[in-house]
Amino acid sequence: MKSKNKPGVYITGIGQLKVEKNSALSIREMGAEAVRLAMEDGGIEHVDAIYLGNMLSGVISNQQQLGPLVAASAGLKGTESVTLEAACGSGGAAVRAGVMAIMSGFCETVVVCGLEKMSHIDKDFITRSIATASDWETEGSKGETFVTLNARLMKMYIEKYKISADSFGMFGVNAHKNANHNPKALFHKEITLDEYLNSRFIADPVRIYDASPVCDGAAALVLSKYPRQSTSRQLPNVKITGSAGSTEFVGINDRSNPLLAEGISRSGNKAYKMAGIKKEDVDFFELHDAYSIISTLSLEGMGFAKPGEGWKLAAEGQILADGRVPISTFGGLKARGHAIGASGVYQAVEAYLQLTDRAGANQIKRDARIGLIQSIGGTASTTITHVLERES
């Protein structure tokens, strides 16, 4: 079925702030600015609802009720606005809520915004706060953090498949190379494989270049029942044709096979089915590269590599811009920056830019047709997958 005839939801406007350390804006100002940018890009003044993705504001900023705060700050007082939390997958959850609101018929046009302000807090406190997305009873309260939990997964993988800890280096190299051309990215420094191999371990076998940074950011989308209205820029229409979520045990020890990443596969397969596509149809994959091991498991879970071979796609250069499965095309969470609640929305913005040939130096190729984005909470305990298609 051609994408023009598929059911789905149109992306008609985008907005994104530069990812930063210590943004001068408050969290409500960050969200409001991203919303205004997206609505201006879409040429609209009113929406039916606003869906926000955020994980930590109530914990680290003593501020809940982001919905009405952001709505009022964006000049949309009175508009329905709620916040969704799915740990690091909060942005993806907000996108899915927006898709469901339109496909259900309750709304015709909505704004989705992901936002997080994290870098104003002591590093140890932010680490403990993020750890609330683990199984607190069995993990977080025992001193585990997401660095140590991902180190456990990475060590399991290395031992099971008998590979070297050095095998994951190209994930970081690729991310930093792409971020260097992205003006909205936090990092503008390319790294070599040697620099990766010589970098310090933050929790053996996880190196500093295997992990995403603490930062601030906000991004937004306008989603609509209708295609983008004619403007001075004639852009291809982009539609979200697949949207699916899945969960897994939060605690790693509760899973029968933690390396199988069943939640990733379930979410992905449902999104593939809804969109009527196969993995071979995908032109690029904006995956949740908060840690190199999660990138590896995502490539395997989505069918791009066999179990135990996801790292090979990186090592062989297949994840590069001109490779078989380009990932992190604007730097990903690793180098664009992982402003937690915003990351899933940044992914959608970046995929939209790829599909409308507006990615500039980060453009993977002309006329990319299908993009896959995936937002993950915890150690793949919540997975939300979307398929975006350029309408033909």
Domains and CATH numbers, the chain: 3-390 (3.40.47.10)
pTM of the complete model beyond 0.85? yes
Catalytic residue among 176, 181, 288, 338: 338
CA 277 to CA 54: how far, in whole Å?
30
The secondary structure of 119-159 as a DSSP string is: TTS-HHHHHHHHGGGS-TTTTGGGT--HHHHHHHHHHHHHH
CA 212 to CA 204: how far, in whole Å?
16
Catalytic residue among 88, 107, 113, 215: 88
Please give the backbone phi and psi of residue 106, each rounded to the nearest 5 degrees, phi first: -70, -30
pLDDT, one tens digit for every residue, the chain (392 residues): 566 778 999 999 999 999 999 999 999 999 999 999 999 999 999 999 999 999 999 999 999 999 999 999 999 999 999 999 999 999 999 999 999 999 999 999 999 999 999 999 999 999 999 999 999 999 999 999 999 999 999 999 999 999 999 999 999 999 999 999 999 999 999 999 999 999 999 999 999 999 999 999 999 999 999 998 765 568 899 999 999 999 999 999 999 999 998 999 999 999 999 999 999 999 999 999 999 999 999 999 999 999 999 999 999 999 999 999 999 999 999 999 999 999 999 999 999 999 999 999 999 987 899 999 999 999 999 999 999 999 97
Residue 120 known to be catalytic: no
Tokens of 118: 């994290």
Residue 338 known to be catalytic: yes
